[in-house]
A and B are shown apart, each in its own frame.
Chain A
Amino acid sequence: MKHKAFFYLILLVAMVAAPFVFPDFRTQLATLWLMIIVALTWDMTGGQMGYNSLGNITFYGTGMYVAAVITIGLVYDVGDYTGAAGGGIHAFSEAQYFSGMFLGMLGAGLFCAIMAVLIGYITFGLRGPYFAIGTLGVAIATGELVSNWEWVGGGQGIALPVYPGDLDTGKLLFYFLYAGTGVLLFVFLKWLYATRFGGAINAIRDDEEKAEAMGVHTLQYKLATWAMAAFFVGVAGAISAFQLIHFEPLETAYQTINLGIFMVVCVLLGGKGTLWGPVVGAILFHVFKEVTWNYLLGWQWVALGALIVATVVYFEGGVVGWLISKKPQWFHVQGKSSETVSEERP
């Protein structure tokens, strides 16, 4: 128990120290935390509850737009602002910027949580691959609709005010916003998975009909889980909106093929249905992505597709799943080691 606390302390110190030790990689590290956040939230439904969503990116994009609309809407008329394409006439004071940022993050999270309940009410009736395809459809459709909505800038996107302080402090701020959200999410999930709630969603994954017969209100649990996941994705999207400053709907906000699939790959790479899997997977994937994007220009998507195929075909348990089967004592798993991680469901 003692060395476990020590382990977490080291990680916490590393998290705080990282942007100061590697000042040139601050944006990269911030993106790494974004990956960790989206991977952890994807695993809430995909790994722990057995509902593989391909549409969690909807909440990322919606979070971005809600944050932008709140920040701008507090000071100016949004239609006027987007009409001027973010020209120099619209200035933001420091107080306006930070209050917009705070309210934007909060509003984005809450809006996405409500949206998840509304969408989930329909899509959670779909099972298995239909759920995956249905949520993918929701993500693509939302992106297309937003890109045709002129009030929020249409296909050109929307531009937020630039961080008022100097650039380096800005990068630090965004790093710690992401990292803080990520740590909060991790601690929250560690607690959540140990409660009855965690047991209930695991029961839904293992056999939904039996869970229902045992008195678990499956729809309520599914909606609550997705709403929590959507809250954190929405907050992450809001931070991204301020970090990126300018974003457009199809390639940045509702980036179905990019981040929307990256989060799934992160989880599969690390190990589905484990607490540490998404974190490990996000780190591995981010390194893989940066290496291929830098050195295999043009072929990076081929490499990504090959990685997806290789992971799901040959390496289903992921890194953590493989570790659990090799070193069960590290994870306090007793008895049949190889079967505890297998996700095989008929």
Chain B
Amino acid sequence: MDQFAANISLLFQFPVVNLKIVLDGVMIGALFALAAYGLALVWGVMNVKNLAQGDFVIAGGYVCWWLSQQGIPALLGVPAAFIVMAAIGWIIYRVIICRVIDRDLFTTLLATFGLAIMMAQILNLLFGSDTQSVSLGFDTLYFMDGFIDVPIAKLIGVLMAGTLAAGVIVFMKYSRMGQAIRATAQDARAARVLGIDTDKVYAFTFSLNAAICGAAGAIIVMVWVIQPFYGITHSIRAFVIVTAAGLGNLPGVIAAGLGIGALEQYGAHIFGIGYQQAIAVLLLLIVLIVRLIQQRRVRQNLQ
């Protein structure tokens, strides 16, 4: 307890520490937001709640890590992870997801949970259970007498995440496929009637989601660490963000992603790094309870 109190008082004694924590959190939160955006996409378009989301992220990270082990520049790993994970996502859709898509929701949840277990273990067998990261070899910038350190690698990561997000948004808005995806999300039956091949749209959406996650993972391996079993925490974060922001609310997803990044950093600062997973989970419970209370109010109004 004293430890926690001391950590909290440190925040007030040196306000600049807050700035550092928020900055760190926002930079990592941008990547959470990317994975959460993919989840919201799949959730909104095909009503599949993908619990293997975090494992896509980790798999993308390992693609990038493996390439850099082969001597290929790590920055090229991001597009490579995007492409590889798109292919894997398409295969997973064809083998598993397309068969559970119109079943009840728990079935899809459990199918993707089985997928998550499988992926985590395959990654563990292929690459071992050590934590891995890729060093880009860039300098670190210091501000405010060295209180705030910003590695250039992290800045590049945020920049790439932003570019990718912008690219996806433009694609969804203006391309033919993006329009078809949005039409299917609004009303799949009507879309079918109007000649949209919804099966193709679903396959594309799922594969796009896997690709976004893969790219996010490739950035995460450059600015943070990955490990085969970290996937579930990433999945939970994505769920927290989407549940807090609501579907189809892109600014909300970004804000919630950045917010969760910052909150987790605060939690890690106050309670210690051992509580990181617990913090992600507790945030999920808090969000669910708050949503529940909101809905209860709506329900009472109806009565």
Q: Does B169 contact A (CB under 8 A)?
A: no
With a cutoff of 8 Å between Cβ atoms, the chain A residues found around residue B288 in the complex are 126, 130, 133-134, 137
Interface centre among A264, A301, A346 (most CB of B within 10 A): A301
| 7 shortest interchain CB distances as A-B pairs | A308-B114, A305-B118, A144-B278, A301-B121, A305-B117, A309-B114, A52-B106
With a cutoff of 8 Å between Cβ atoms, the chain A residues found around residue B99 in the complex are 313-314
Task: Check B282–A141 contact: CB distance below 8 A.
Answer: yes
Distance to closest chain B CB from A297 (angstroms): 11
Q: Does B115 contact A (CB under 8 A)?
A: yes
Q: How far is the CA of A302 from the CA of B55 in the complex (A)?
A: 14
Number of residues from A at the complex interface, CB < 8 A: 39
Task: Check B284–A133 contact: CB distance below 8 A.
Answer: yes
Task: Check A134–B110 contact: CB distance below 8 A.
Answer: no
Q: How far is the CA of A133 from the CA of B235 in the complex (A)?
A: 11
Q: Which residues of A contact B (CB under 8 A)?
A: 52, 122, 125-126, 128-130, 132-134, 137-138, 140-141, 144-145, 148, 257, 261, 264, 268, 298-299, 301-302, 304-309, 312-314, 316, 343-346
Q: How many pairs of A and B residues are in contact by the CB < 8 Å rule?
A: 108
Q: How far is the CA of A261 from the CA of B111 in the complex (A)?
A: 12
Task: Check A312–B111 contact: CB distance below 8 A.
Answer: yes
With a cutoff of 8 Å between Cβ atoms, the chain B residues found around residue A302 in the complex are 118, 121-122, 125
Task: Check A122–B115 contact: CB distance below 8 A.
Answer: no
With a cutoff of 8 Å between Cβ atoms, the chain A residues found around residue B120 in the complex are 301
Distance to closest chain B CB from A209 (angstroms): 11
With a cutoff of 8 Å between Cβ atoms, the chain A residues found around residue B114 in the complex are 304-309, 312
Distance to closest chain A CB from B285 (angstroms): 5
Task: Check A144–B121 contact: CB distance below 8 A.
Answer: no
Q: Assign chain B's interface to a size class.
A: 35 or more
Residue of B nearest to A344 (CB): B104
Residue of B nearest to A155 (CB): B274
Contact of A312 among B110, B121, B281 (CB under 8 A): B110
Contact of B111 among A134, A145, A299, A313 (CB under 8 A): A313
Q: How far is the CA of A125 from the CA of B119 in the complex (A)?
A: 32
Q: Does B171 contact A (CB under 8 A)?
A: no
Residue of A nearest to B105 (CB): A129
Task: Check A137–B296 contact: CB distance below 8 A.
Answer: no
Task: Check B118–A301 contact: CB distance below 8 A.
Answer: yes
Task: Check A122–B292 contact: CB distance below 8 A.
Answer: yes
Q: How far is the CA of A313 from the CA of B112 in the complex (A)?
A: 11
Distance to closest chain B CB from A270 (angstroms): 15
Task: Check B285–A316 contact: CB distance below 8 A.
Answer: no
Q: How far is the CA of A313 from the CA of B89 in the complex (A)?
A: 17
Task: Check A257–B100 contact: CB distance below 8 A.
Answer: no
Contact of A308 with B292 at beta-carbon distance under 8 Å, contacts A129-B49, A144-B277, A316-B103 already known: no
Q: How far is the CA of A148 from the CA of B278 in the complex (A)?
A: 10
Distance to closest chain B CB from A185 (angstroms): 23
Q: Does B8 contact A (CB under 8 A)?
A: no
Contact with A along B117-139 (1 / 0, CB 8 A): 11111100100000000000000
Task: Check A313–B285 contact: CB distance below 8 A.
Answer: no
Contact with A along B261-303 (1 / 0, CB 8 A): 0000000000000110110011011001100100110000000
Q: How far is the CA of A144 from the CA of B107 in the complex (A)?
A: 27
